[in-house]
Structure 1
Amino acid sequence: MLKEFSLKQFGNLRSLDSEISDSILQSIEEHIKILFLPKNTAIQVDFQHFLLDSDALLFINPKVVIQFSQNENNKEILLHFNRDFYCIEIHDQEVACDGILYNNVFEVPFIKLRDSQSSYMQKVIREIQNEMENDDASTEEMLRILLKLIILKSTRIWKEQHQLADNEQHADVQFLRKFSKLVEQHYKTHHTVADYADMLFITPKNLSKKIGLLSKDTPNDIIKNRIILESKRLLAHTSLSVKEIAYSLNYEDDAYFVRFFTKNTGISPTSFRKQF
């Protein structure tokens, strides 16, 4: 089901009703998404495979490609909305999730749920589904309030799971969010740790120390992995030539880009593309 409020769109899809098909996902490629996944769901996010050992929520940026094994017992629920309905970046002061649930360059943003947390989230999702049946002046705002409730609760759970929920760690969380957002914004044009250290007004050494609070990867690994991910997306899902992809990622020497990709993936760009 899709509700439209002028240019604002909010939708709800269920695997149980065979609504989450590849063609439907392509049609909402530009939408921001929240996917509820029951325990034991097998899912592929871009080029990584996961088998969930608990119920979970997955927060999905536009253009991220998801696939899960289809069976008659699938109970995934997908909420999706466009930026006109709710823009994560513009409304970041309200929910403080940018760089954590969305635009997270550290990890695929799964929020694993305990039984009580899962029951709560499913209750909110049912309220959303019920509200989708309404058609009055308050429907749009009610949907937005329920959406923000899921995002706020999930951000809180993420901080607890990463042991960053204490008030004295607020500055650390803000720094990690800022670095994550900067990489997401600039990875196509800025490729070195020094570039991001300059933007954050610290030394590369201090940047590495701060990132070590959350990630086992170094800042250099994080930047490199984000470039590789985009390279894979363009190779798998577009007809751009390797040279055009290299240029779009600010590599003027496509031979250097080929060496960079091959070194970090163990396969050449052309061979990777043939897999798809």
Structure 2
Amino acid sequence: MRLFSYIYFPGWPGTRRPAFGARTISGAYLPMTHHIPTYEIPQPSWAQAVDFQIYPFKSQAALEEGLSAMPIKTDIPHRHNFFEIFVFFQGKGMHMIDFQTYPVASPSIHFISPGQVHLLSSQLPFHGYVLAFSQQLWDHKRSGDRALSHLPFFSPFCQQPFIDLTAENQAYIERVLQNIRIDQLQAHPSSREITRSYLKALLLYCERLYEQQSPDSGRDEDRSVALAAHYQSLIEQHFILQHQVKFYADALHISPDHLNRVCKQVLGQKAGELLLNRILLEAKRLLLYSAMTQKEIAYHLHFKDPSYFCRIFKRKNGCSPLSFRQQMQEKYHR
């Protein structure tokens, strides 16, 4: 049996007030299920497994020949196991990504990494495209290309997951996307490799714009920075099951002390703090976006003792998990 409650975001279109007793957060009522929905790249019925898709926004889908709109609902909290690029040429709205809300101003591009919880709400209809692609597409014949997590907007440490576009930037992006669309419709055996080349050009162009708009984000190929990024990547893969720094140090073929020094130097935090913060971020996501109890969350995150989970959550956040859930509801309720 599935249990539902609702989150309410005031002023967000397309939502209604819930029945008595529903949960309220920041204005729009959204269904809370027992787990946060996690999506894979939608697969067309007529093709084998694909690792790249391009979709127009629903408001313009009827005008796009040969392309259907994104089948995943983006206006409820969800996450996915692929990378996503939102290209906004027109429209206005809000994009909520892991407890941070970013205004959507056009033209602009927003970036989402696998595992991030987000939702998108429009105030004026969006026109543009959503690109969905897998890690496997990027890694295919990568031969020296940097990992996606080394791009500043896909970095685990990114504080600004978007770039604004000038008219000149928009024209360049539109040409690249037009070429991708044409190639996708042809479905030639070479399409995957051509699409990957266009995607690489798009991402490198976006990286240039990002560094122009965020001068302090400059690229640093220092080994310590690369090691810290690799550690963060391993955390993303294993944090639910592996809570000990030694596991990650062994995977990186270094000592825990060395890993601590690198993380402190590059990120200002010890390796254990980074790992714990990632675990507790997941706990916060589940407290806010799911109906799981604190005991269920503790076991889901592989804490053997739920009371220990509550103590460590309170030590890091200054309140218990249930108090955090209540505070978030009260903070955004109007």
Q: TM-score, normalised by structure 1?
A: 0.73
Within the alignment, does 1:8 sit opposite 2:60 as a pair? Answer: no
- Corresponding residue of 1:97: 147
Select the residue among 198, 203, 209 that pairs with 1:146: 198
CA-CA distance at 1:79 after TM superposition: 0.4
Q: Does structure 2 conserve the Cα–Cα contact (< 8 Å) formed by 1:261 and 1:268?
A: yes
- Corresponding residue of 1:200: 252
Question: Which of the pair is proportionally richer in strand?
Answer: 2
Structure 2 matches for 1:80-229, cutoff 5 A? 80-82=132-134, 86-88=136-138, 93=143, 95-101=145-151, 104-107=155-158, 110=161, 112=163, 115=166, 119-154=171-206, 161=215, 162-165=217-220, 169-193=221-245, 196-202=248-254, 206-211=258-263, 214-229=266-281
> Counterpart amino acid of 1:35?
F
Select the residue among 44, 56, 60 that pairs with 1:17: 60
CA-CA distance at 1:50 after TM superposition: 2.3
Report the count of equivalent residues: 271
User: Any unmatched runs of 5+ in structure 2?
Assistant: 1-41, 62-68, 330-334
Within the alignment, does 1:47 sit opposite 2:95 as a pair? Answer: no
Question: Which of the pair is proportionally richer in helix?
Answer: 1
In the aligned structure 2, how far is the partner of 1:213 from the partner of 1:112? Answer: 28
User: Any unmatched runs of 5+ in structure 1?
Assistant: none
Q: Encode CA deviations 1:36-81: one digit per residue, 9 max, x unaligned.
A: 3569863211322224789654432344332233122534531013
The change in CA–CA distance for 1:199 and 1:63 in structure 2 (over 3 A counts) is closer
Q: Does structure 1 conserve the Cα–Cα contact (< 8 Å) formed by 2:93 and 2:103?
A: yes
3-state SS, counterpart of residue 250 of structure 1: coil
> Counterpart amino acid of 1:42?
M
CA-CA distance at 1:252 after TM superposition: 0.9
3-state SS, counterpart of residue 186 of structure 2: coil
Select the residue among 241, 244, 247 that pairs with 2:299: 247
Q: Encode CA deviations 1:247-272: one digit per residue, 9 max, x unaligned.
A: 23231110111122233334432344
Q: Percent identity?
A: 24
Q: Encode CA deviations 1:118-140: one digit per residue, 9 max, x unaligned.
A: 54334322322333333444434
Q: TM-score, normalised by structure 2?
A: 0.63
Q: Encode CA deviations 1:87-120: one digit per residue, 9 max, x unaligned.
A: 4566665532243348743235725356455543
In the aligned structure 1, how far is the partner of 2:295 from the partner of 2:257? Answer: 34
CA-CA distance at 1:216 after TM superposition: 4.5
Choose between structure 1 and 2 for higher RCO, CA contacts under 8 A separated by at least 6 residues.
2
In the aligned structure 2, how far is the partner of 1:214 from the partner of 1:111? Answer: 23
